[in-house]
């Protein structure tokens, strides 16, 4: 999905398209979570659709419930929905900031590479004793 560390930095227009795609994904996750909360409050607590939207929005944003809960099923739903909302919040922050963090680290990595060698040298095979002694100054 993202360019490899040895590839050039993504051009700005392409980066902005990538960032917009991630924001759309995060918005979809939030809208889906909000829909789940609306239906849950409406079904388990018999709240109106508007009150369900209000409660789900407040829980999802971290503010807390507005309406008093009267049913055990509604209280259990609200507990699980609050935990779920915390995970949704962390996930959406990660999805939105992933391209930004990647671009920053990629640019930092490219600036730290020497300009004459695009790839760092690989020394996979260990040298034998004869090779290491031949390179040693006498």
CATH for 72: 1.10.287.70
DSSP letter for each residue of the chain:
-PPPTTSPPPPHHHHHHHHHHHHHHHHHHHHHHHHHHHHHHHHHH---HHHHHHHHHHHHTTS---SPP-SHHHHHHHHHHHHHHHHHHHHHHHHHHHHHHHHHHHHHHHHHS-SS-SS-----SPPPHHHHHHTS--
With respect to residue 6, please indicate whether it lies within any of the assigned structural domains: no
The pLDDT score that the predictor gives to residue 21 is 92
How does pLDDT run across 41-100, given as a tens digit for each residue?
A: 999 999 999 999 999 999 998 888 888 889 999 999 999 999 999 999 999 999 888 888
Note down the domain range covering 28: 12-112
With respect to residue 19, please indicate whether it lies within any of the assigned structural domains: yes
With respect to residue 123, please indicate whether it lies within any of the assigned structural domains: no
- Check residues 10 and 138 and name the one with the higher pLDDT: 10
Q: Is there a contact between 70 and 111 (Cβ–Cβ < 8 Å)?
A: no
With respect to residue 42, please indicate whether it lies within any of the assigned structural domains: yes
With respect to residue 105, please indicate whether it lies within any of the assigned structural domains: yes
With respect to residue 63, please indicate whether it lies within any of the assigned structural domains: yes
With respect to residue 55, please indicate whether it lies within any of the assigned structural domains: yes
What is the model's pTM? 0.69
- Check residues 27 and 136 and name the one with the higher pLDDT: 27
Instruction: Report the domain count for the chain.
Output: 1
The pLDDT score that the predictor gives to residue 6 is 66
């Amino acid at each position: 999905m993202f360019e490899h560390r040895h590839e050039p930095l993504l051009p700005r227009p392409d980066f902005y398209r990538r960032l917009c795609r991630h924001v759309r994904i995060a918005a979809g996750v939030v809208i889906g979570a909000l829909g789940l909360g609306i239906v849950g409050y409406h079904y388990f607590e018999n709240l109106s659709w508007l009150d369900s939207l209000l409660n789900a929005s407040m829980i999802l944003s971290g503010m807390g419930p507005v309406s008093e809960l009267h049913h055990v099923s509604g209280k259990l739903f609200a507990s699980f929905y609050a935990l779920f909302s915390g995970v949704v919040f962390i996930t959406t922050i990660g999805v939105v900031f992933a391209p930004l963090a990647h671009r920053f680290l990629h640019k930092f990595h490219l600036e730290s590479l020497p300009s004459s060698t695009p790839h760092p040298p690989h020394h996979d095979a260990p040298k034998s004793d004869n090779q290491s002694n031949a390179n040693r100054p006498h």
